[in-house]
Every structure is written in structure tokens, then in C-alpha cells.
Amino acid sequence: MDLYLIPLAFSLLAALAPANLVRYVGLTGALASLVSVGVHGAYYMSGWSVVLFEPGQVTTFGLTFKMGYDGISLLMVALVNVVTTLILLSNLNRETASLKGFNALVMLMQFGLIGVFTAMDGIMFYVFWELTLIPIFLIAYWYGAPERKPALLKFFIYTFVGSLAMLLSLIALGNYADNYSYESLVTVELSAKSAFWIMAGFFLAFAIKIPLVPFHTWQPDTYTLSPMAGTMLLSALMLKMALYGMIRWMVPLAPEAMQDFTPIIVILGIIGVVYAALIAIKQSDIKRLFAFASISHVGLIAAGIMLFDKEVLGASLIQIINHSLVAVGLFLAAGILEDRLATRELNQMGGVAKLAPRFGFWFAVIGFASVSVPFSSGFIGEFLLLKGLYGYCWIIGLIAGTTLVFGAVYTFRAYQLSMFGAPSLESFKDLQWNEVLSFLIISVLIVLIGVYPQAILDFVGPSLDKLIQSTQADITILP
């Protein structure tokens, strides 16, 4: 229960703490959660039980309230705690860090995300899925740019419609099961028609959250107009709920519909890879550029997940982690530029590297990680994903491979214009200690995973075997 109680308790503490201490309360809570998940990881590798909470009784409506984890879930929980720590650390010197509401909402978001990744009951998954919307919406609403309201309304409508579709699918599936526990839902045998509509509801919810083209139109404005921490939460963590949902819920609960949905999702993902990358190249707003870059990268991950092969799923999880770390780094760099220069326009930047060499160096490091150079976590993730897609269809594999070229173009264009562009600045404050530490931690993690990705593959391997076995076992498709 400590995985849930620590962020929830520190959320309450942050709301009550003195203004001069609140920034340290949030960071302390994030570090405590990080220690907690480390202990769970050690016990899990020793064969400790994965069930965290199970009352033992099923309610009248079929709820079991069961919570727990396997290797996949625990990896995602660890990612949540690492990224939350990085977000609070990188924001430590900002005005928002001294605000009680900001710290309380970030910790509440962490609590909701952990619930999403450890829910072993369909309705509990939905409840935590919806819970995460509240803090991120309030963070963007209270601390975002002045023109944020129309974008946030669009964000709310999109996510509400998607969530409703997922709820309807869960209720429909629950009619065939004894209760809403994951074990009960995953053993239901469906007709091809029923499976199609159930997967369609999940797909709509996840496609909006990822987002996949053409469900992406809420994303660029929301990312651009949210505060730096809000954009980090959205890009590094919130969209990962949907990618995780595809792996854990969408495919295993309606595998009979995979034959119908795999080509659709693969094609939409690859369209997103190319389309979003081309749009990113043309952007003059640096946050908007990185927002479209995110769409391009996650499109590749979503396409790979639908192949539901152990090697490709392992690569997808590595790439999920890589995308989260890189997203935090890129949006941290964009936030620093926006704060110091009071603009997001690339044509109004330039000459920063000369005035702030530390920033120039670390931005370059994150930029290279973003384009998946060898010995970075993105290299092995993208290589295995492209290999899997090439095996599925060589034409799709070739098109997906353009991400390597387009990614380098928009990333280095953003770096060149901001760091070495035409405008001559008189001053630019270099990185503070917490910003340097944030970039350092991100870079070290990216290199460690890039050098030894097998650690993650071995950790999630048994869970992937079990998941694939239950999904790809002989399925009796009812008429």
C-alpha cells in the first residue's frame, strides 16, 4: 500500500505546508516514492507476491478492487516515480514550485498514475484513468498560458468521449464475465462482432490519449500552452497510460479482433510517424515542434505494439521509457528558453550556446538521444521496432524508417536556430544546479539503458511470456 499512500500523503502535506517549504515537500515525496518502488523491485525479483490489495469479496456490481503488479506494471510504476522526481527537481527554482496547489496536484497525479498501472480490475483501471485527468487539467488551467482555455476545453472533450467509449466496452465485456477482475475479463471468449466493438471502445480512448492521427488535434495546443511541468506530465507519463493500456487491456481483452485492428492501427501509427515529423520540421514554436515530434515517436510505438511479439513488445517498453526521458529533457530545454527569453519562437532565439555553454552542451546531449544515436536507449528500441515492422510488411518498415531522417532534421534544426541562430543576445542565464542535475540524470539513464537494454528485457520477459501466451492461445471465435 505504500506505493499509493506515499504520494497521497505528500499531496496532502504539500497542500498544508508553509510556502517556504512546499517545494521541498513535493520533492521529498517523489524521492520517498522512488525508494519505495526500488524496494518493491527488489522483492519482486525475489519472487514476492504481486498482489497489493485484494479485499477478497466481490461487490454486487462485480468490482473486486484488486490491485497488484507484474514486471510490466512495476516497470511503469518505476517510470512514473523517476519522471515525477525529475519534474519536481527541474521545477525547483521556478515560481510554481513554491505553490501549494502545484505540488499537491503533481503528487495527486503520481497517485493516479500508479493506480492506472497497478489496477487488476477493469473498473478500478477506469476510475484511476479518469482520476489522472483532474490534476493535469487543473495544472494546465491554473498555471498555463493566458490563451489556454479553448485548448483545454478541446482536450477535455476529446478525453471525455474516449473515456466514455472505454467504459462502455468494459461494461459490455463485464456482461460476459463473472466480475470485473482482470483474470475474469481476460478469459471471456467473444464472437468476432462483439470483440470488434469492445476493442473499438478501448482503441478510441487510447488513440486519443496517445495520440494517433487523426485523433491528435488536441495535443499540440495543449502541450504548447501548458506550463513546463504540465507538458512534461502529459508527454512523459499521461500518454504512456494509453500505450500501456494497449498492451495490458485492449489486446488481451479482445484478441479475437486483432486481425481487424492490427492493420488499421499500424497504418495510422506509420502515417503519424511521417505526417507529424513533416509538420514538426515546419514549426517555428519550439514547444509546438517538440509536441509534433512526440506524435511521430509514439506512432511508431503504437504500431509496434499491435504486432504483439515478445521482441517487439520488449522494444516498445524500452521506447516508452526512452520517450519519457527524452520528452522531459526536450521540454525542460524548451521551458528554459521560454523563461529566459520570454518567447517560444525559434527565429527570435540564437547565440545561446555562447552565453550559456552548460545549457548548450546538455541540450545537445538530449538532442542526440532524441535522434537515437548508438549507445542511447532510443537506438535499440527503434531498431527492434523497425525490424518488427519490416518483418510485418517491408513497405511499412521502410516508411517507418524515415523517422530516423526526419527526427534528425527537426531536432537539429531546433538546436541550431536556438543555440547558434542569427539574433545576438546580450545575456542569458546559464543552467542552475537543479537543471544540470536533471539533465545529468536523464542522460545517465538513457546511456545505461542503451548500453544494457537486456536488464529491462529480462525484467519484463516472464510477464510478456505470460501475456502473449494468454492472448495468442487457441481462441475459439464464437459465431
pLDDT at 59: 67
pLDDT at 305: 94
| Tens digits of pLDDT across the chain (479 residues) | 788 999 999 999 999 888 888 889 999 999 999 999 999 888 887 544 577 666 666 666 777 788 888 899 999 999 999 999 999 999 988 888 788 889 999 999 999 999 999 999 999 999 999 999 999 999 999 988 888 889 999 999 999 999 999 999 999 998 888 888 888 898 888 888 889 999 999 999 999 999 998 999 999 999 999 999 999 999 999 999 999 999 999 999 999 888 889 999 999 999 999 999 999 999 999 999 999 999 999 999 999 999 998 999 999 999 999 999 999 999 999 999 998 888 888 888 878 888 899 999 999 999 999 998 999 998 999 999 999 999 988 999 999 988 889 999 999 999 999 888 777 677 888 889 999 999 999 999 999 999 999 999 999 998 999 888 888 753 444 43
pLDDT at 57: 66
pLDDT at 89: 94
Neighbouring-strand partners of residue 478: 191
3 state SS for the chain: CHHHHHHHHHHHHHHHCCCCCHHHHHHHHHHHHHHHHHHHHHHHHCCCCCEEECCCCCCCCCCCCCEECCHHHHHHHHHHHHHHHHHHHHCCCCHHHHCHHHHHHHHHHHHHHHHHHHECEHHHHHHHHHHCHHHHHHHHHHHCCCCCHHHHHHHHHHHHHHHHHHHHHHHHHHCCCCCCEHHHHHCCCCEHHHHHHHHHHHHHHHHHHCCCCCCCCCHHHHHHHCCHHHHHHHHHHHHHHHHHHHHHHHHHHCHHHHHHHHHHHHHHHHHHHHHHHHHHHCCCEHHHHHHHHHHHHHHHHHHHHCCCCHHHHHHHHHHHHHHHHHHHHHHHHHHHHHHHHCCCEHHHCCCHHHHCHHHHHHHHHHHHHHCCCCCCHHHHHHHHHHHHHHHHCHHHHHHHCHHHHHHHHHHHHHHHHHHHCCCCCCCCCCCCHHHHHHHHHHHHHHHHHHHCCHHHHHHHHHHHHHHHHHHHCCCCCEC
